[in-house]
């Protein structure tokens, strides 16, 4: 009898588990749909509040915003883990084409030109373009822009719309910049007369800068934001299904109200703008910990690049003086290529081409270190070669006469003296790498400069965070300079 009760209880428990599993499986049929991956990578440009931006309070490095909330909801409904990457806006579609990401959310508008390269979801938010201009300038309609300089963000729908306006309105001169804050600063500096910016973003800048106003541009065609995918992506259908459900239930409207109705960041900074202050560093005080967190990344990048570049430069210099013509020719050709092409171009090629050519998803930091190692190695090779040839020939002759092998002679006798001779040049190269590390911000590494740009975008200001970043770079460079001077004095004392 007891055995029968045990069996009955076991069967009942198993039935309850099965029913709950079935119920759980059918409670969200979209989650059961296969999307091919457990983790999906979203890439965005988090300098575009309120769509996506960094929450910099207390030094946090969390990307938040309207698009992020939608992406998190998609992840919940479709049952995948969300990974967020970042890049400049004009690098988002190339990242999709290089298979670095599964989809893009960045307030991106489908255009015929973009649709040739990527697929899009349904539009999840409709927006309008506006003309942002100084108050009293009377630049309210496209026809008013005749003979004016107009700023637009590179790679955006606003750039395309501005080009269309320039075709219809005589004398419109366009100036493309990478970020909206740069456009606003150009206007405040008097270098451009107006800018074409999306209404939700224009509202924040107008709140933070009372001397600016914005007016909507009439448009017969509906435009708005959609999710971009690689061509023929299987994610389009399931994403569209969730987006349509969110539309039908009013969830997208609620999120839009949450992020677009009140812009607390702009309101907080507008008081300083109204006070007539040209510079007010109190506005960035809460965000200083966020900017300071970029220092370890900058130093890590610099030290790795210098160390690996020194090794690679030494190899190249030895190939140039070893006397084997094919190796010498290869080393000279390599140096010529890397010294004759822009560093920013090399960085973009390494970052975007590596996944396509090798299948390896190289991270932004790895791409930066690799690029700077290859580049600095080319420059250091000439410096090291000069240092080696500057060592007295008698040193090599004495070693050879004592039967010291060539490899040991170079390692124990020649190279130490050469490095001592070229120490000032190596310090200059290190300082150059430290400052040039700001270039990796273009591929999404949040180092010192990128951190300052993020704070500026969030606060709708420009100079204060950049000046603070400049102070940090100056302190780091001075620290390197003093450290190198102390090392040089010690080496001289040991002679």
Please say if the pLDDT value at position 464 is more than 70. yes
How far, in Å, CA of 382 to CA of 314, rounded?
Answer: 9
Please say if the pLDDT value at position 370 is more than 90. yes
Q: Looking at domain 128-222, which of 3.40.50.2300, 3.40.50.720, 3.40.630.30, 3.40.190.10 is its CATH number?
A: 3.40.190.10
Band of residue 316 on the pLDDT scale cut at 50, 70, 90? very high
Q: Among residues of the chain, what percentage have pLDDT more than 70?
A: 83
Question: How many Cβ atoms from other residues are within 10 Å of residue 57's Cβ?
Answer: 12
- pLDDT of 152-209, one tens digit each? 988 788 888 899 899 999 999 999 988 888 888 889 888 999 999 988 888 888 888 8
Please say if the pLDDT value at position 272 is more than 60. no
pLDDT at residue number 336: 93
How far, in Å, CA of 133 to CA of 195, rounded?
Answer: 7
* Least confident range of 32-36, 73-77, 365-369, 459-463: 32-36
Distances, alpha carbon 365 to alpha carbons 53, 305, 344, in Å: 21, 11, 14
Please say if the pLDDT value at position 289 is more than 50. yes
Which CATH class name applies to 291-493?
Answer: mainly alpha
CATH number of 39-125+226-254: 3.40.190.10
Burial of 305 (0-12, 13-18, 19+ CB in 10 A): buried
Which tokens hold the place of 155? 């790679």
How far, in Å, CA of 338 to CA of 346, rounded?
Answer: 8
How far, in Å, CA of 19 to CA of 22, rounded?
Answer: 5
The residues, any chain, with a CB within 8 Å of residue 228's CB and separated by 6 or more, are 92, 93, 96, 103, 104, 105, 108, 110, 114, 118, 119, 120, 121
Question: The tokens 């389009």 sit on which residue?
Answer: 236
Q: Rounded mean pLDDT of the chain?
A: 82
How far, in Å, CA of 138 to CA of 335, rounded?
Answer: 55
Mean pLDDT within 216-230: 80
How far, in Å, CA of 350 to CA of 208, rounded?
Answer: 39
Band of residue 278 on the pLDDT scale cut at 50, 70, 90? low
For residues 181 and 457, the answer to whether their CB atoms sit within 8 Å is yes
Higher pLDDT, 21 or 359: 359
Band of residue 44 on the pLDDT scale cut at 50, 70, 90? very high
User: Domains of the chain: which residue ranges?
Assistant: 2-27, 39-125+226-254, 128-222, 291-493
How far, in Å, CA of 43 to CA of 92, rounded?
Answer: 7
Beta-ladder partners of 118: 230
Mean pLDDT within 412-439: 81
Mean pLDDT within 323-329: 88
Please say if the pLDDT value at position 261 is more than 50. yes
For residues 204 and 50, the answer to whether their CB atoms sit within 8 Å is yes
pLDDT at residue number 266: 43
pLDDT at residue number 494: 60
Band of residue 13 on the pLDDT scale cut at 50, 70, 90? very low
pLDDT at residue number 6: 44
pLDDT at residue number 155: 78
pLDDT at residue number 334: 94
Mean pLDDT within 133-150: 92
Give the distance, in angstroms, between the CA of residue 271 and the centroid of all CA atoms in the same chain. Answer: 30
Whether 39-125+226-254 shares its CATH topology with 128-222 is answered yes
pLDDT at residue number 236: 94
Whole-prediction pTM value? 0.68
Beta-ladder partners of 150: 174, 194
pLDDT at residue number 267: 41
Phi (first) and psi of residue 83, to 5 degrees: -115, 130
């Amino acid at each position: 009898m007891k055995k029968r009760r045990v069996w009955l209880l076991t069967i009942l428990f198993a039935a309850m588990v099965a029913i709950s599993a079935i119920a759980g499986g059918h409670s969200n049929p979209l989650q059961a749909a296969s999307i091919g991956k457990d983790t999906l990578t979203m890439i965005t440009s988090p300098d575009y509040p309120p769509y996506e931006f960094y929450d910099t309070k207390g030094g946090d490095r969390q990307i938040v915003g309207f698009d992020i909330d939608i992406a998190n909801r998609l992840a919940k409904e479709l049952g995948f883990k969300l990974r967020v990457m970042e890049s400049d806006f004009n690098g988002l579609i190339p990242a999709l084409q290089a298979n670095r990401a599964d989809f893009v959310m960045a307030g991106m508008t489908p255009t015929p030109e973009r649709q040739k390269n990527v697929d899009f979801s349904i539009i999840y938010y409709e927006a309008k373009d506006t003309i942002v201009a100084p108050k009293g300038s009377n630049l309210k309609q496209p026809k008013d822009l005749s003979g004016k300089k107009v700023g637009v963000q590179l790679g955006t729908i606003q750039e395309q719309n501005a080009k269309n306006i320039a075709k219809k309105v005589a004398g419109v001169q366009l100036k493309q910049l990478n970020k909206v804050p740069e456009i606003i600063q150009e206007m405040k500096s008097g270098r451009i007369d107006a800018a074409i910016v999306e209404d939700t973003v224009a509202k924040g800048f107008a709140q933070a800068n009372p001397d600016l106003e914005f007016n909507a541009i009439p448009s017969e065609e509906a435009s708005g934001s959609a999710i971009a995918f690689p061509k023929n992506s299987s994610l389009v259908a399931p994403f569209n299904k969730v987006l349509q459900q969110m539309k039908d239930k009013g969830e997208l409207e609620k999120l839009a109200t949450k992020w677009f109705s009140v812009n607390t960041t702009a309101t907080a900074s507008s008081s300083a703008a109204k006070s007539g202050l040209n510079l007010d560093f109190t506005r960035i005080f809460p965000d200083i910990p966020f900017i300071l967190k970029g220092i370890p990344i900058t130093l890590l990048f610099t030290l790795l690049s210098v160390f690996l570049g020194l090794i690679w430069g030494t190899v190249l210099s030895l190939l140039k003086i070893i006397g084997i013509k094919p190796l010498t020719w290869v080393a000279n050709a390599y140096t010529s290529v890397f010294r004759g092409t822009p560093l920013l171009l090399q960085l973009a090629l390494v970052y975007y081409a590596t996944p396509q050519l090798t299948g390896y998803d190289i991270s932004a930091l790895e791409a930066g270190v690799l690029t700077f190692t290859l580049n600095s190695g080319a420059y250091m090779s000439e410096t090291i070669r000069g240092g080696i040839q500057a060592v007295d020939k008698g040193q090599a002759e004495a070693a050879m006469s004592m039967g010291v092998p060539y490899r040991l002679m170079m390692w124990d006798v020649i190279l130490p003296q050469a490095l001592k001779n070229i120490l000032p040049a190596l310090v200059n190269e290190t300082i150059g790498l430290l400052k040039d590390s700001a270039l990796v911000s273009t591929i999404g590494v949040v180092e010192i400069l990128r951190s300052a740009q993020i704070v500026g975008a969030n606060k709708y200001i420009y100079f204060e965070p950049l000046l603070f970043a400049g102070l940090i770079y100056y302190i780091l460079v001075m620290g390197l300079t003093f450290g190198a001077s102390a090392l040089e004095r010690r080496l001289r004392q040991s002679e």
